Amino acid sequence: MVLKIIPDTGAKKATVSLLATGAQRRTEIYYDGTLLGEVHELFGVDTETMVNTQGETASVAPISLGEVSWTDESATMETLRYKFTLKVYNEDGSTQDVKGDELIDGSPQMLCVAGDWQCPRERVKAEVAYPLLGDWAKKFDDPEVANWYVFLKSGRVATPYSSDSTTALQTPYDARRSPLL
């Protein structure tokens, strides 16, 4: 799952958009304990569908999740990223709460990146797409690896969605207001 977060420290808010999901199970996004939505429902697709992670270019517009509180003026992306969590519903009926710094099979489940970047394609480990990622994760404030996201491996990342006709974000899918397909 890929989120884009645009902080406005003056207004003490951040705008959050859902860019992609590779999850193939029910996955909910939370900010500071508040549910922002389930990723597949937000895109209006079934749980088995991956969005914007399969091809070289994202084909579905981002989903606006609105604004969240971005309060403490001394806080940084490093500290506030821990307010984002996931709840994953496993096939056996159990759930797993995933925090911002957790690795599963050696891969981060969430990354908070200040600025635009290209997310890894599905089934490509982030550290393969971005060889300096591991160094950045260990030394977050080290200026020598702060721009790890510009050193990407071609063919391993997805180009973000773009549209010539509009730059507007989609609103979340709402089955109650949408006609049956």
Residue 181 pLDDT > 70, yes or no?
A: no
What integer pLDDT is reported at residue 166 of this predicted model?
Answer: 41
pLDDT tens-digit series, residues 71-83: 766 666 667 778 8
CA distance 42 to 20: 11
Domain extent listing, the chain: 2-116
pLDDT tens-digit series, residues 94-104: 998 988 667 66
Q: What is the mean predicted confidence (pLDDT) over 156-177? A: 54
Whether the model pTM is above 0.85:
no
Q: Are 38 and 28 in contact (CB under 8 A)?
A: yes
CA distance 121 to 76: 27
Residue 107 pLDDT > 70, yes or no?
A: no
pLDDT tens-digit series, residues 6-21: 888 788 888 899 988 8
Residue linked to tokens 């859902």: 18
Q: Are 29 and 84 in contact (CB under 8 A)?
A: yes
Calculate the average pLDDT of the chain.
78
